[in-house]
Amino acid sequence: MGEKRKKEMRLAEMRAIPQTEEQQDMIVDGYAIVFEQPTILWTDPDTGKEYKEIISRGALDGVDLSDVPFKYNHSDSLMIMARSRNKTLTLTPDDYGLRVSAILAPTTAGKDLYTLIQRGDINKMSFAFYVADDEYDRNTSTRRINKFAAIGDVSAVDAPAYEQTTLSARSYCEGRKAADELLEKEQQAAEKKKLLFQKYFESHRAIPYVKTGTVDEPWDGAKMRANLKAGPDVKADYYRQAFAWVDQDANPDAKGSYKFIHHDVSDGGAIGPANIKGCQTGIAVLNGSMGGSKIPDEDRQGVYEHLAAHLRDAKVEPDELRSTGNCNNEDEDMNMDLRRKLLIIKTYL
């Protein structure tokens, strides 16, 4: 079952058409909707930030307007004043927007309402609607309604309903504000976490993990290394995309300074996604396979975290990193300390 759509309301201007000897109907009209025109829904009193809304031209395409009532204050307890079903309410989409023209019922309530509109005591109408498709631009704090699901009713409104309609717009904006603030906090936390990782890796030879695509294809590490470009024009930033470890005491612009290749490399030297089997091979080497790794033991955890992160991106659980088995107690204590630091960084915030 889909999510239940929320009823919303917006304000627009309306007027009474003067009666003449030839035309005695009590007619009120106005544009309930104006297309492609930014409307300020709410201004945040704390920051002065304006939240806007734009209704796309075509938002009413296909919307059923055949039985829409014209009410007073959106009330279901009062008699309706006009209705599109019997042609006393005309809803006409055009290039400008949705024009509303209502012939009010010649009842006491209808006559009273017409008089109040004619005198200017009431000059606002509100339309109730449901949205089928919209989008929100955080950079401009602007909502764009692309498609209406339905128009509920059109109403002449006085102060209480005016406030209700204003609150409808404000409710949407405050919800967007809360979502924006939460997203901003999450982005700040992610950036802080990223900086913590970078700070850790800068003091070690393990290359920081960067999220990329992954691929599950046969792996030939020697061929991938051979496919890499080489020469004076190739710099460290290129090699760091393919490897998980670099010898900081060697030339960072030389291919031979890097170990633990795990990305696919095309015949032309283009570095592609992380290879699942390449990452698994690297972890196996860290755990002693194929002669084991020849990198400082304090760098093993960082290399493991890099390779394991790619595997987790591919929904593949990595093997655990095992002890080298030939570390002295001091080395093992150092490894445990590094693991604790990484654990703190990973769970920070």
pLDDT for res 176:
85
**90 with 222, same domain?**
no
**Alpha-carbon gap, residue 65 to 29, rounded angstroms:** 16
272 and 304 both lie in a single domain: yes
d(CA 92, CA 60): 10
Residue 2 included in any domain: no
Residue 191 resides in a domain? no
Report yes or no on 146 lying in a domain.
Answer: yes
3-state secondary structure at position 82? strand
Contacts of 345 (CB under 8 A, 6+ apart): 193, 196, 197, 200
pLDDT of residue 196: 65
Q: What is the pLDDT of residue 332?
A: 42
Q: How far apart are CA 55 and CA 119, in angstroms?
A: 30
Examine residue 197 and state whether it is found in any structural domain, yes or no. no
Tokens for 208?
């920081």
pLDDT tens across the length of the chain (349 residues): 445 678 888 888 888 888 888 888 999 999 988 999 998 888 888 889 999 999 999 999 999 999 999 999 888 888 899 999 999 999 999 999 999 999 999 999 999 999 999 999 998 888 899 999 999 999 999 999 999 999 999 998 886 444 555 667 778 888 888 888 888 888 888 787 767 666 555 555 899 899 999 999 999 999 999 999 999 999 999 999 999 999 988 999 999 999 999 999 999 999 999 999 999 999 999 999 988 888 988 889 899 999 999 999 999 999 999 875 433 333 444 444 445 444 444 443 3
* Measured distance CA(71)–CA(83) in Å, rounded: 9
- Domain closes at, from 118, 151, 183: 183
Structure confidence at residue 162 (pLDDT): 46
**CA 144, 145, 148 angle in degrees (round to 5)?**
175
**What are the backbone dihedrals phi and psi of residue 316, each rounded to the nearest 5 degrees, phi first?**
-115, 125
- Domain termination site, one of 137, 154, 183: 183
Do 97 and 241 share a domain, yes or no? no
d(CA 264, CA 225): 9
Residues 112 and 166 in one domain: yes
What pLDDT sits at residue 248?
84
Q: Do residues 136 and 235 share a domain? A: no
Same domain, 223 and 301: yes
| 176 in the same domain as 275 | no
Q: Which domain holds residue 112?
A: 8-183
- Spatial contact of 25 and 14, defined as CB atoms under 8 Å apart: no
Contacts of 297 (CB under 8 A, 6+ apart): 324, 327, 331, 334, 335
- For the question of whether the overall pTM of this predicted structure is more than 0.85, the answer is no
Which two structure tokens, joined as six digits, stand for 28?
């009120």
Kindly state whether residues 151 and 238 are assigned to the same domain.
no
- Domain assignment of residue 53, yes or no: yes
Q: Is 176 in the same domain as 210?
A: no
**Residue-wise burial string across 68-97, b where 16 or more C-beta atoms lie within 10 A, e elsewhere:** bbbbbbbeeeeebbbbbeeebbebebeeeb
Number of Cα atoms under 13 Å in the Cβ half of residue 214: 19
Q: Are residues 251 and 178 in the same domain?
A: no
Strands (E), 14-65: 15-17, 27-34, 39-43, 50-55
Count: domains in the chain: 2
Is the same domain home to 155 and 210?
no
Whose tokens are 């339905």? That residue is: 150
What does residue 127 show for φ and ψ, rounded to 5 degrees? -115, 135
Q: Is 128 helix (H, G, I), strand (E, B) or coil?
A: strand
Which residues does residue 166 pair with via DSSP β-bridges, in sequence order?
A: none
Q: If we measure between CA atoms, which residue out of 49, 10, 8, 42 comes closest to residue 170? A: 42
Q: Report if residue 171 sits inside a domain.
A: yes
pLDDT at residue 307 in the model = 97
